[in-house]
Structure 1
Amino acid sequence: MNIMTLGKYKAKIEYDAETDMFRGEILGLNGGADFYGRTPDELRREFSKSLEVFLEVCREKGISPRRSYSGKFNLSIPPELHERLAAVAEANGKSLSLLAREILQKFAQQAR
């Protein structure tokens, strides 16, 4: 995963063959903010500029720039996987929710 970080903000970086440039999309915002660059340094500069513009618009409109999260989401999985995970959780003296949280936390740490 190609993630670039600027302070507490993260952006997903992908190559755009149409423009022959790299495109960044700032993640977790209440709106869209993207930027382009040919080099890592240019991407960082454009990330900063794009974020500044987005934050200024949010201040002007009086809205929070970051999307808020409740900490809850629904997950649909095959019944067989549900059964296996429930057994693993029970065998380890954990709730299924705690087991899923631990697995997701490990994945999120690897994706930094």
Structure 2
Amino acid sequence: MTTMTYKGYEAAVEYDEDAELFHGEVMNLRDVVTFQGRSVDDLKSAFQESIEDYLAFCRERGEESEKPFSGKFVVRIDPGLHRELATAARRAGLSLNKYVSKALERVAG
């Protein structure tokens, strides 16, 4: 999958051979934000315009625009692992959130 990024928003992009058209959709939003273009430059411009339109639409409605990721997610794990992580975090002098965040950073590279 090919992706594009603008102002922290990421979009998946595909090429439709039959229509000879690039099209994309912004990922990880509840709202549907799409765009298209016949060339790469057209596609980039359309993507940026779509994001700007989305942000303006949210402002006009008095709503906060949705961020692609909040930095929060729920992970369900075995209670024994939870206890081991909490103990390891305490030994390291860190909160459980900080300890797990650091571990995930190492894994993600």
> How high is the TM-score relative to the length of structure 1?
0.58
User: What residue number does 1:23 align with?
Assistant: 24
* Structure 2: 5+ residue stretches without partners: none
* Structure 1: 5+ residue stretches without partners: none
Q: CA deviation at 1:47?
A: 0.7
Q: Could you tell me whether the CA contact under 8 Å between 1:30 and 1:65 is conserved in 2?
A: no
Give the whole-Å Cα distance in 2 for the aligned partners of 1:13 and 1:71.
21
| 1:44-55 mapped onto 2 (5 Å cutoff) | 44-55=44-55
- The number of residue pairs the alignment matches comes to 107
Residue deviations 1:74-108 (CA, integer Å, cap 9, x gap): 43112343244234324423232220232345567
User: What residue number does 2:65 align with?
Assistant: 65
Report the secondary structure of 2:50's partner residue. Answer: helix
C-alpha spacing 1:47/1:90, structure 2 compared with 1 (3 Å): same
> How high is the TM-score relative to the length of structure 2?
0.59
Give the whole-Å Cα distance in 2 for the aligned partners of 1:61 and 1:91.
48
% of aligned pairs identical?
Answer: 33
Residue deviations 1:35-89 (CA, integer Å, cap 9, x gap): 245664343112112113223322332322234x876554311234324423432
User: What RMSD in Å do the two structures reach over aligned CA positions?
Assistant: 3.9
Larger radius of gyration: 2
Structure 1 segments (4+ residues) deviating >4 Å: 16-22, 37-40, 69-73, 104-108
Give the whole-Å Cα distance in 1 for the aligned partners of 2:106 and 2:3.
17
C-alpha spacing 1:3/1:82, structure 2 compared with 1 (3 Å): farther
Q: Could you tell me whether the CA contact under 8 Å between 1:37 and 1:43 is conserved in 2?
A: yes
Give the whole-Å Cα distance in 2 for the aligned partners of 1:23 and 1:76.
33
Q: Could you tell me whether the CA contact under 8 Å between 1:34 and 1:50 is conserved in 2?
A: yes
Letter in 1 for 2:34: D
